[in-house]
Amino acid sequence: MTNHIQTITKLLATHDIDALLLTHLPHIRWAVGFSGSHALLYIDAKGATLITDGRYANQARQEVHDAEVVIGQLDLLAALSKVLGSDRRLGFQADHTTVEEHIRLQQLASTELVPLNGLLQAKTLVKSPEELELMRAAQSITDTVFHELLKIIKPGMTEKQVAAEIVYRQLRHGADTMSFWPIVATGAHGALPHAEASDLKLTNGDLVVLDFGCTVGGYCSDMTRTVAIGQPDEESRKAYQLVLDAQLAALKAARVGISGVELDTAARDVIQAGGHDLPHSLGHALGLEIHEWPSLRWTDKPLPEGAVVTIEPGVYLPGKLGVRIEDMVVLTPDGVENLTASPKELIIL
């Protein structure tokens, strides 16, 4: 298993701090494997200490690697004050700390607080071989369930009934949980990129947006496919083809070293040339969290080898329809490894 504590310990010198406090649970899981919902991770030159409460005593002993475990009361900061050395410059995750926690940290005697933002984002972006295996496994379940859905989706089903099948089937195939609640949006409802599955019925002539994923070992999959219920009209076919062309253009452009904004532009240009807008970023990184840094449209930093990002252009016509196609890819020197195996030609059910 990759030792991420060594990576984090190197950051102490980079930021001129004696110790670091992690408060963001996905980062704590990334660092030492703990999957519970209440913990702090304290790291100094001597090593790492995970602080949690009694509910997680056994779980922490089973899961945690590369760190000591301290079982405190529900108030974890009280336990931290006993672990913390004296006269320290303590870095903390300013973007993952509450105002109350900050006040409490200020009260710790002889500690100088150093606020840090985006501390681990460049580290968690690059996936290890073990992390990639879990993401491949999660996406494989998602692909299997999409294949099954094609056999059961029928006109007259509600969006919620389709969402229920997605949840049930992903769990049946071994998922731990959902990456996020499935998006099932039919007809005009599909024009809302983040529509919630409703009681709307799938009707002949509709395009249905299906955006879903699951987790394996904590790691997320994320895929969108848009299918037609009965024969789609000309406008629907054109919108579908445009999104597919944009998605393929971005997949072709993607490789190590391209910046997020350059990759976003590769798809956005195609959508705009077709007379439409892309109202959201082309995609996002993901891993232990469904949305990780960066959002492609908003970074000009080059994407490194091993980064996993989604490529998900869409076209949304208010009152009419929505189309989105999303794959999850790993950046490699010659292009990408596409983790998504589901077909992309327009499927008519």
| Residues of the shown chain interacting with Zn ion in the complex, contacts defined by CB under 5 A | 211, 222, 224, 310, 326
Q: How far is the CB of 328 from Zn ion (least distance, A)?
A: 8
Q: Which amino acid type is present at position 274?
A: G
Residue ranges in 156-233 assigned as alpha helix (H): 159-172
Q: Which amino acid type is present at position 192?
A: L
Nearer to Zn ion among residue 31 and residue 261 (C-beta) = 261
Nearer to Zn ion among residue 72 and residue 190 (C-beta) = 190
Q: How far is the CB of 287 from Zn ion (least distance, A)?
A: 12
Q: How far is the CB of 313 from Zn ion (least distance, A)?
A: 11
Q: Does residue 278 sit in helix, strand or coil? A: coil
Q: How far is the CB of 295 from Zn ion (least distance, A)?
A: 10
Nearer to Zn ion among residue 29 and residue 324 (C-beta) = 324
Nearer to Zn ion among residue 165 and residue 211 (C-beta) = 211
Per DSSP, the residues of 217-248 read TTEE--EEEEEESS---HHHHHHHHHHHHHHH
Pairwise CA distance, residues 182 & 167, whole Å? 8
Nearer to Zn ion among residue 121 and residue 295 (C-beta) = 295
Smallest Cα–Cα separation from 221: which of 280, 137, 305? 137
Nearer to Zn ion among residue 38 and residue 291 (C-beta) = 291
Query: Would you state the structure tokens that stand for residue 209, as one six-digit string?
Result: 């947006």
Query: Would you state the structure tokens that stand for residue 185, as one six-digit string?
Result: 């949006």
Q: How far is the CB of 167 from Zn ion (least distance, A)?
A: 15
Pairwise CA distance, residues 152 & 145, whole Å? 11
CB contact set of 173 (below 8 Å; sequence gap of 6+): 141, 144, 145
Write phi, then psi, for 277 (nearest 5 degrees). -115, 155
Nearer to Zn ion among residue 67 and residue 163 (C-beta) = 163
Q: How far is the CB of 342 from Zn ion (least distance, A)?
A: 13
Pairwise CA distance, residues 47 & 53, whole Å? 20
Write phi, then psi, for 230 (nearest 5 degrees). 70, 180
CA distances 125 to 13, 195, 198, 216, 293, Å, are 21, 27, 34, 18, 7
Nearer to Zn ion among residue 290 and residue 347 (C-beta) = 290
Q: How far is the CB of 164 from Zn ion (least distance, A)?
A: 18
What DSSP designation does 326 have? B
Expressed in angstroms, the distance from the first to the final Cα of the chain is 44
Q: How far is the CB of 148 from Zn ion (least distance, A)?
A: 18
Pairwise CA distance, residues 248 & 344, whole Å? 10
Pairwise CA distance, residues 334 & 145, whole Å? 30
Pairwise CA distance, residues 252 & 37, whole Å? 40
Q: How far is the CB of 312 from Zn ion (least distance, A)?
A: 5
Nearer to Zn ion among residue 151 and residue 194 (C-beta) = 194
